[in-house]
Amino acid sequence: MAPTAQSTDHPAAPAVAPVALGIGPVSAADVVDVARHGRAVQIGPEALAAITATRGVIDALAGDIAPHYGISTGFGALATTHITADRRAALQTSLIRSHAAGSGTPVEVEVVRGLMLLRLSTLCTGRTGIRPATALAYAAMLNAGITPLVPEYGSLGCSGDLAPLAAAALALIGEGLVHDVSGAVVPAADALLAAGLTAVVLAEKEGLALINGTDGMLGMLLMALADLQELLDVADISAAMSVEALLGTDRVFAADLHALRPQLGQGASAARMAGALAGSGIVASHAGPDDTRVQDAYSLRCTPAVHGTARDTVDHAARIAERELASAIDNPVVLPDGRVESNGNFHGAPVAAVLDFLAISVADVANIAERRTDRMLDANRSHGLPPFLAYEVGVDSGHMIAQYTQAGIVAELKRLAVPASVDSIPSSAMQEDHVSLGWHAGRKLRRALDGYRRVLAVEILTAARALDFRIPLEPSPVTGAGRDLVRTVVDGPGPDRHLGPEIDAVVELLASHAFTAAVEPVLLAASSRR
């Protein structure tokens, strides 16, 4: 599984106004826009004034004989080593080179752009001691579409995402490899020259200011939240399609039933499913006293509880992300009164925990989707559908192996749900003896979201086929819109065809937001009539 459908795209030329960076937090939407769509950034005058004022504090300490961490000392376990004044600038360049120690396949362009923007946002708070010219150079590199190659492995999620951020800073000083604006991999010095930019020579404290942050894991969290919020909306519709296909009832999604358990996410999913099934000829065909079944299986009846739990987890994670966006994370930091203080705010525990929570929820909502798919394929439980939705039973296997693929992904998602944040491994000669592993939590969540998109695609593809087998009964306007969109890329029931490309075609409908665009306006109209 690739990490995300959008993950390898290189940013296009921005067509909107730049994101204005002040001393306050950047929005989650702006982070996603810069990371995924190449939107430019601009440092505002208020931020430049704050950066300038704080830099004055650092300049005053640059020649001080007293030790100041990151200015006149070594780093980590070497913090007790005194650095003479004539070597303090070299200390910063050495820090970047040594900490850019990552290994493995480069991560996606959008992840790197996200972490660069978030680091720049912290620089703009005026609490890091960086020079204005360095902050402006970092912004210019981002705006030029120069994206450093950041290896997969290297961050422990404490002292920030050190190795990934150091790889980004390495490009700023004209070293290492980058993707240029065309997507080609070139030396950083060449890309800077082609863009009319000059490599930065770092001054005191600046190396630390460029690498001490939770920016990599936070960027991955923000993009995951954007993806998962949409996928959970899709899941409500795909589940409604399955309810129809299995001749389930919509009565269990009634608002008065869910008011008895006022979990917010559950109520939201139940309302969406009720709206999606409104006006369904299939549901109406078996409603009333002639329906002899007492209740549907859990995978239909309990869907709002499962989907809603994921929704509530997303809401919690979004609150944590919002607080992290409002943070100024560096070590040491320069306080408004001029004090330079060490701290532990770079520890990634808050972000790592919610990344893991989300991976657990993804595994759960994918699991219940697979159970609905399996039920549609089992002639003993599907209430009249042909075995495996085969066109010619025996000769054709229908969607039998699509469920295998779906089940295999769900098994992988359960493994990816094992928390990274419960682990820790000491580093830096036991000075950094507890770490968050938040970067790892972010990496596995991206993989999980790609898998979940594919699980939903299989359910939608299967439910669309099942709905066709229910003809002449008609689905609801909402589920019908979903089925009709699928039919624009995949033919209806017929003899067995190469199934893999059909699954991928529906995956693309989800990744391109086409499915959401097709069904959500219809759902909104249906809900307004209820």
CATH number at residue 144: 1.10.275.10
Domain with 142, as residue range(s), is: 19-213
**410 and 393 share one domain:** yes
**508 and 359 share one domain:** yes
Q: Give which of 321, 349, 323 is closest to 157, Cα–Cα.
A: 349
| pLDDT tens sequence across 453-496 | 999 999 999 999 999 999 999 999 999 999 999 999 999 999 99
Residue 353: which CATH number?
1.20.200.10
pLDDT attached to residue 1: 44
Axis crossing angle, helix 514-529 with helix 499-511, rounded to the nearest 10: 60
**319 and 456 share one domain:** yes
pLDDT attached to residue 3: 41
**115 and 243 share one domain:** no
Q: Is the dihedral of CA 284, 288, 289, 292 positive or negative?
A: positive
pLDDT attached to residue 291: 72
pLDDT attached to residue 433: 79
pLDDT attached to residue 387: 97
**172 and 315 share one domain:** no
Q: Give which of 195, 201, 227 is closest to 456, Cα–Cα.
A: 227
Q: Terminus-to-terminus CA distance in the chain, angstroms? A: 40
Residues of the chain with pLDDT under 50: 1-10, 12-14
**57 and 172 share one domain:** yes
In the residue annotation, 298 being an active-site residue is answered as no
The encoded tokens of residue 181 equal: 């604006």
pTM (2 d.p.): 0.93
**180 and 235 share one domain:** no
Residue 413 sits at the vertex; the CA angle it makes with 417 and 447, to the nearest 5 degrees, is 95
Quick one: three-class SS letters along 457-469?
HHHHHHHHHHHHH
- Residue 135 counted as domain residue: yes
| pLDDT tens sequence across 190-225 | 999 999 999 999 998 999 999 999 999 999 999 999
- Residue 120 counted as domain residue: yes
**263 and 164 share one domain:** no
pLDDT attached to residue 14: 47
Q: Is 323 left (phi over 0), alpha (psi -120 to 50) or beta?
A: alpha
Q: Out of 69, 298, 391, 452, which one is annotated catalytic? A: 69
pLDDT attached to residue 62: 73
Q: At which of 213, 232, 265 does a domain end?
A: 213
